[in-house]
Structure 1
Amino acid sequence: MKKAVLIVNPSSGNEEAKKYSGQARKKLEQFFDEVEVRETEKGGDATKFAREAAEAKADSVFAMGGDGTVNEAISGLAEQDYRPKFGFFPLGTVNDLGRSLNIPMDPKEAIASFDSERKTSLDIGKINEDYFMNIVSVGSIPEAISDVDVEEKTKFGKLAYFVNGVKEVFNDENYHFTLEIDGEKTEIESSAVVIVLTRTIGGFTHIVPEAKNNDGNLYLLYLKDQSITDRLKSVPDIIKGVDQSTENIGYTPFKEGRLTVKEDADLHPSVDGDEGPELPLSFKVLPQHLEVYCGAE
């Protein structure tokens, strides 16, 4: 008997999860003998529910919510010897992983178009003892972006991230980092260091056009900025997509690395849009770690 567990965050998507969870359940019942719906009440519930589904040998686990809910569910599966197939119905503001997997951003369309035959493998990243599915960002600009509150996200969508990021461009603060990438050490000065798994950042597709969901790589990007002028010079490179280092942006595909900051800086890295662990940070990729449901090409 094939069982699916649907993990729903009722507060996601301006509390639209309750509206769509019944539709999702009915759709999944076309493909599975049993569908169990579990609603989260607090942070960590999605991780717990996904872990319990894996321990019970469920065939598939689905998440309905934003990037944070999806991250939690993936984290619950990541350490398990038996990992159910994973799928999700996006409800949040950005949904970078959904975009990279060609899943429709409209919840109703995402549910209606689900097909259990469409699957692919997915790399996930490990940061210290946590996991990420899309992006880790460190620095003054990433901190400003991660400080966008729920009300702003609901009202303005991904534009809220863009506006906060632009505001921080005119802040002169940057940091001295030490990077160890696949055994090679580099000293850099930057306001923003980003490690990504997919081509999509902040809802904007093809910023890292070389990145694939299952290529076994992490991708490092950082601004080579020592002034506001340097920061502004990097914008055209970002807009056209980054596939090599330029005068304004550093770029390196890698497998494993470590990031430390020289100053006694109170930096809070953002992991898939939520606050992550304190520096120093260790990274590695877990290649093709999950089998996931995807959208049509």
Structure 2
Amino acid sequence: MSKRLLFIINPRSGKGQIKEHLADILDIMIKAGYQVSVHITQSGGDATRQTIEQSKDFDRIVCSGGDGTLDEVVTGMMQLAPSERKPIGYIPAGSTNDFGNSLGIDKNMLNAAQISVSDKLFPCDIGRFNSDSFVYVAAFGIFTEVSYATSQDLKNLLGHAAYIIEGAKQLRDIPSFRMQVEYDGNVIYDEFIYGMITNSKSVGGFQGIIRGNIGLNDGVFETTLIKMPRNPMELNEILGFMTGIIPDSEMVYSFQTSEIKFTCSEDVPWTLDGEFGGNHKVVNVVDENSALEIAIE
């Protein structure tokens, strides 16, 4: 009896290149012994709905799109009981594909398709963000609006340049948030222009921003919090740290933790895997160790 696979496709990601390879990808899946059903996403959140509603009828869910599409599938899967969750395959087709790169998934779509039906499954950590989920990054502050405020057409046309163009607009007036941060018995109270909790080797396509030994199923996230600069020298120090020129900076908190809580007196806009994650005064983030299986090479 054939195994069943649901293939969820975001046709607009990465200049729509999936259309050129669809027949070959389906052939790879069928030759791997799967009976394949295809769903083309219709709107934001559709991949989450399809995962929740249909996963019980399938042995594997494979998605193709950007990291946001993967995030939607993971969000849907994490709403199911652990015993009901199915392995996920990922065929990256976005403009950055941070998480796919971290997992070593090939950028070539046909090679990624072979990996998506692999029997080698990686038990990956998933982030619990209040009642939501994220795959590789939850962030707030400067530049975080860039990914979801930039149109898909501009992302497709310019790639990383689109993020730089949109990000430059935010440099005129740097917003900051005074927060209390609690983790592992420690309490920080400071003013931040940026913060991220990550489970990835790169963010925004840039490597070297995240410090420490990075494991995608080690039970801890990497946390980076950047303080509000008070003068040009402090801003230069931050830029030096972020670009790897300066190894350490008193302007940046950097640590690993399995659970962290943020409290702010005002609503803070967050992004989850590059998509808008809502405005929150209180955020609890928990590392759910080895919560989902993802096909790797």
TM over 0.5: yes
Correspondence list, 1:273-292, <5 A: 273-279=274-280, 280-292=282-294
TM-score, length of structure 1 as denominator length:
0.89
Partner in structure 1 of residue 254 of structure 2:
251
1:238 and 2:248 aligned: no
Contact 1:208 / 1:241 at 8 angstroms: preserved in 2?
A: no
Bigger strand share: 2
Which of 75-84 and 223-232 deviates more?
223-232
Consecutive unaligned residues in structure 2, runs of 5 or more: none
In 1, distance between residues paired with 2:84 and 2:114?
28
- Do the aligned partners of residues 147 and 43 (structure 1) sit closer, same or farther apart at CA in structure 2, a change above 3 Å counting? closer
Cα deviation code 1:13-56 (max 9, x no counterpart): 22233333322211111212311111111122211222234322
Between the aligned residues of both structures, percent identity stands at 25
How many residue pairs get matched?
291
In 1, distance between residues paired with 2:249 and 2:128?
27
In 1, distance between residues paired with 2:27 and 2:218?
34
Cα deviation code 1:120-154 (max 9, x no counterpart): 22111011111100111111332345422223211
Partner in structure 1 of residue 59 of structure 2:
59
Contact 2:229 / 2:251 at 8 angstroms: preserved in 1?
A: no
Contact 1:206 / 1:241 at 8 angstroms: preserved in 2?
A: no
- Do the aligned partners of residues 75 and 173 (structure 1) sit closer, same or farther apart at CA in structure 2, a change above 3 Å counting? closer
Partner in structure 2 of residue 212 of structure 1:
215
- Do the aligned partners of residues 46 and 241 (structure 1) sit closer, same or farther apart at CA in structure 2, a change above 3 Å counting? farther
Tell me by how many angstroms 1:180 deviates.
1.6
TM-score, length of structure 2 as denominator length:
0.89
Partner in structure 2 of residue 221 of structure 1:
224
Task: Kindly provide the amino acid, as one letter, of the partner of residue 291 in structure 1.
Answer: E
Partner in structure 2 of residue 28 of structure 1:
29
RMSD: 2.3
SS at 1:10 equivalent: coil
Partner in structure 1 of residue 196 of structure 2:
194
